Amino acid sequence: MINRHPEPILWMLFSAGGVVSAMLMPALLLLFGVAYPLGWLAPPSHETMVAVLGNPLTGLVLFGLCVLSLFHFAHRFRHTLYDGLQIKHLNEVIALVSYGSAIVGSVIAAYLLWQVS
């Protein structure tokens, strides 16, 4: 009855990624991308970073953040190329590259977060 195409699950990943990235990224990016490099605030010591990142809960949250954000990016990027630039004839290739890179990124994220814990 429901047509078999992956849009529903891709959209749910996109939505979840949108919420998670909206909640976590501004603060993290402001701190690690702007405030610490410009010296507005002292960056955390290496010991603190190891302690925070070593916590399995942090690892889980960050893994969720990375995977969902990557799928959020993939879905939006693919739709924007399709609608914005009207590259319809390359639809399959773009979908493959977008979601493929999200999967690859998720695997790398899993590896790196496992390594630091």
Partner 1 sequence: MSEGHVYTAYHPRWLRQRISTYWWLEKPAYLAFILREASCVFVAWFVVYLLLLVDAVSGGAAAYAQFLAWSADAPILLLNVVSFLFVVFHAVTFFDAAPQAMVVHVGQTRVPGHLVLAGHYAAWAAVSVFVAWLLASGQ
Partner 2 sequence: MGERIRLQVARYRPEQESEATFDEYEVPCPKDWVVLDGLNHIKDRIDGTLAYRWSCRMGICGSCGMTVNGEPKLTCATFLADYAPGPVRVEPLRNFPVIRDLVVDIGDFMRKLVKIKPWIVRQAEKPLADGEYLQTPQELEEFKQYSMCINCMLCYAACPIYGLDPKFLGPAAIALAQRYNLDNRDDGAGARMATLSEHEGIWGCTFVGECTQVCPKHVDPAGAIQRYKLSAAVESMKSFFLPRGA
Interface with partner 2, residue 16, by CB under 8 A: no
Which amino acid, one-letter code, is at 69? S
- Dihedral sign for Cα atoms in the order 19, 23, 29, 34: positive
Interface with partner 2, residue 51, by CB under 8 A: no
> In this structure, how many other beta carbons lie within 10 angstroms of the beta carbon of residue 1?
2
Q: Are 73 and 102 in contact (CB under 8 A)?
A: yes
Which stretches of the chain bind partner 1, using CB under 8 A? 17-19, 21-34, 36-38, 41-53, 62, 65-66, 69-70, 72-73, 76-77, 79-80, 84-86, 105, 108-109, 112-113, 115-116
Q: Are 74 and 106 in contact (CB under 8 A)?
A: no
Interface with partner 2, residue 2, by CB under 8 A: yes
Site residues, partner 2 (CB under 8 A)? 1-3, 5, 7-9, 11-12, 15, 79-80, 83, 86
